Amino acid sequence: MIKISDGKLGVKEFTALVFVTIAIKGTDTTPDLLIYAGMNASWVLPIFFTVFIFIPLLILFPLMKKHDQGLLELIFRLAGKKVGILICFLLFLVILSSTTVNSRSYIDIINTMYYPLTPLTLQYFLFLMVCYFIAKRGFESIGRASSVMVWYLVVSGIILLFSVWKKSHWLNLFPLAGPGIIPLLRDGAAYSSIFGEIVLLAVFLPFLRSYQDFRKASLIGFGFSAFWVAILCAFYTMVFDYPSVEYLNYPYHQLTRVASLGGLITHLDAIFLGFWVIASVLHFSIYLYMTAYIFARTLRLDAFEPLLLPLTGLILLIGLIPDNIITLNQSREFVIFSASAIVFFLPLFLWGLDRWKGRRQSEKA
């Protein structure tokens, strides 16, 4: 039966959106960091991240439920106007810098691995242009497009795993703890902002039908994403083995290079590139939209979609600054570490404020 749309996202769409936002991290340069930190046990790290990220989430979600507000509204409500603007602006900087750095890094991957002759500027421009067009169609469309495409992405991922199955050796995973439990735990905490988007995604609560939908979708999407990143990391180690996997810049794309289905179809990398581009475009449309949304809310603007174009231009311009992947990776690591702290402590800070305010109010009463 035909029904008129209400313009909000449901569980399925938001789960897909969370998955596209986070799971794609297993396919960019993130595993490099994980492998550097976790050695052959890099696949354990995503699981530790999940545990660490759960602490702020467990604090944040009840707060959101209590006030029934999205993250940004919550900040303004609890921290007041001035501090609220400051925090939101900080969040905006975090999201803007990570969008810029990551998008440039994705284009670097495509340029290095597949199109060494095409000008990077042109590719970057095309890429961000499409991201802009998708973001411009609204959050509803991004969510729905993710929910349509996510199945193709998952199927292509599973096909990839099947096609490298023969070349993987599960014994490569041993010793299971890699550098040892303590270093793993330490790095798990330090790098956990790699998954920190899940906290930032809480700004989208107003776009969902209900808080229950939001919580369910976030947790399911997050769980699957962590699982997928862990599987990918395990496969990198299983196929390439530990010391050599560390020297690969883009393990996912190397993995697609070795993928083969039978004896006839031996080079599938271009096909996987197509699907990967789909996922990245969706990923950065979400980021772009989030950047514009946070910026608009910081300045208390109602219409934020006109901001998308100038922000896209800004991202393009900043993204073109780094000369090469080496300088880019340094700034990327810096962004990850600073974001880690913010993402981790923001919910704690909000919780503290809430307690303090609650106590003050009860004292008054």
Q: Which residues of this protein are in contact with another protein, per CB under 8 A?
A: 1-5, 9-10, 12-13, 110, 114-115, 118, 123, 126-127, 130, 133-134, 137-138, 140-142, 144-145, 147-149, 264-271, 273-278, 281-282, 285
Between 9 and 296, whose beta carbon lies closer to another protein? 9
Nearer to another protein by C-beta: 12 or 216? 12
Maximum C-alpha span of the chain: 78
Q: 36 vs 151, which CB is nearer to another protein?
A: 151
Q: Which residue's CB is nearer to another protein, number 89 or number 114? A: 114
Query: Which residues, at least 6 apart from 117, have a Cβ–Cβ distance to it below 8 Å?
Result: none
Least distance in angstroms from the C-beta of 304 to another protein: 17
Structure tokens at 138: 């609204």
- Least separation, in Å, of the C-beta of 252 and another protein? 15
In the complex, the smallest distance separating the C-beta of residue 205 from another protein, rounded to whole angstroms, is 17
Q: Which of 34, 42, 251 is nearest to 160 (CA)?
A: 251
> Tokens 């060494």 correspond to what residue?
116
Q: Which is nearer to another protein, 12 or 65 (CB)?
A: 12
Question: CB burial class (10 A; 0-12, 13-18, 19+) of residue 244?
Answer: exposed
Q: Is 347 helix (H, G, I), strand (E, B) or coil?
A: helix
Q: Phi and psi at residue 265, in whole multiples of 5°? A: -95, 100
d(CA 159, CA 157): 5
- Whether residue 35 contacts residue 240, with contact meaning beta carbons closer than 8 Å, is answered with no
Q: Rounded to the nearest whole angstrom, what is the least distance from the CB of residue 166 to another protein in the complex?
A: 18
Which residue number, 92 or 276, has a Cβ lying nearer to another protein?
276
What's the min distance (Å) between Cβ of 142 and another protein?
7
Rg (CA), the chain: 21
For the bound state, the minimum distance from the C-beta of residue 240 to another protein, rounded and expressed in Å, comes to 20
